[in-house]
Amino acid sequence: MNLTDGLDGLAGGITIVVLGFFAVISLAIRNLGILVFCGSFIGAILGFLRFNSHPAQVFMGDTGSLALGGAVASLAVIMKLPLFLAIVGAIYVAEALSDIIQVVHFKRTGKRVFKMAPLHHHFELSGWAETKVVSVFIITAIILCLIGILAFN
């Protein structure tokens, strides 16, 4: 999660979508406690995004991004859906893998795979506007969460 917090609204936007997935699943299994938790967290992030969207006036920092990651991971464990986290959290995984691939490949060959890691910075340096990167990543998260919902049924 911490690696995803590099552009205005990126970590919060993706996490709202992922928490939305857990909210839908909690409705399906009739766990109202988790539904309230997800709704509360989504509300808090929406309030934060008012000031963190481009151009950001406030930044999340490590404490915020680690709290979001901890909440998402905890929900996956509590709801006994850890494998679904690989689907709905694929953006988080891609961001981390891009960093790992970049470091390992550079140490072995002296060349970079990406213009910059994590992955969202690669797209930014490829000429994409910050808002486009954030939008594409959030849309991708929505698609992945819809796949997760279909897989749950």
Mean pLDDT by 10 residues, the chain (153 residues): 85 97 97 97 96 89 93 96 95 94 96 93 94 97 98 90
Q: What is the pLDDT at residue 98?
A: 95
Q: What is the pLDDT at residue 150?
A: 97
DSSP code of residue 2: G
Whole-model pTM: value is 0.92
Centroid of chain to Cα 151: 19
Taking the C-alpha atoms of 90, 96, 97 and 99 in order, what is their torsion angle to the nearest 10 degrees?
A: 150
To which residue do tokens 């988080």 refer?
Answer: 92
- The count of other CB atoms within 10 Å of the CB of residue 48 is 17
Q: What is the pLDDT at residue 3?
A: 82
Kindly report the backbone phi and psi dihedral angles of residue 87, in degrees, each rounded to the nearest multiple of 5, phi listed first.
-80, -60
Domain residue ranges of the chain, discontinuous segments joined by +: 2-92+129-152
When computed from its CA atoms, the radius of gyration of the chain, rounded to whole angstroms, is 16
